[in-house]
Amino acid sequence: MDDYLPLAFLNAWEYCPRRFYLEYVLGELRDNEHIILGRHLHRHIDEAKTRQEGNITIHQQQWVWSDRQD
């Protein structure tokens, strides 16, 4: 599992590579009200489960990968 990255890391890298480096590589992520609220709202996000909401099936904790070796 050490070779896997959370999908949010890819989003952060695409948004701003410098900010990604500062926050995720150097660990300079500063807590603010939005970070704290998001952490609370997503506290169970790593629990694998499937649920139904109307006609929509929601799969939580999906793995995404690429075999590309660029």
How many other CB atoms are there within 10 angstroms of residue 7's CB atom? 11
Q: What's the confidence (pLDDT) of residue 2? A: 62
What pTM, to 2 d.p., does this model score?
0.45
Tens of pLDDT, residue by residue over 6-54, are 777 888 889 999 988 988 889 887 888 998 998 898 887 777 788 899 9
Q: What's the confidence (pLDDT) of residue 17? A: 92
